[in-house]
Amino acid sequence: MLHTIKYNSLEIARNIETCRTKISQMFGLMFRSSIPSDYATIFVMKKPSSVGIHMLFMRFPIDVIFLDEEKNIIGLSHLKPWTGHSSMKNVKYVIETNPGAIGKYKLSIGGKMEFEDV
């Protein structure tokens, strides 16, 4: 288990789940009723690729952070249940977390996320 995810030395999440397999990535947060305030899921791609995030069977909104191989932010998205979809190219990591994290931590394109290699 990872210890923390940080941005500009601010802790964004401490309760972290990692999805590495196609099956775990397909299900992600589906069917859950909520997530803790200090929670994030990191999706780890085998190599940088095009990634699409869907919100099927989701019961709550999420913020999504797309990262390149160096953990630089290349995309940010706020997705709503059943209606949201976002895709990005050249993605190595995707972080899904609570809605409002993008604004709360002032995340921006080009910024660098910090976490242990997964």
CATH code of the domain containing 68: 2.60.120.1140
* Average pLDDT of the chain, as a whole number: 91
5-7 and 113-114 beta bridge pairing? antiparallel
pLDDT of residue 85: 80
CA distances from 114 to 13, 33, 56, 60, 84 (A): 11, 28, 29, 26, 26
Domain count of the fold of the chain: 1
**Tens digits of residue pLDDT in 71-118:** 999 999 999 999 878 889 999 999 999 999 999 999 999 999 999 875
Residue 25 or 66, more confident: 66
Range of the domain at 51: 5-114
Neighbour-count burial of 44, counting CB atoms closer than 10 A to its CB (0-12 exposed, 13-18 middle, 19+ buried)? middle
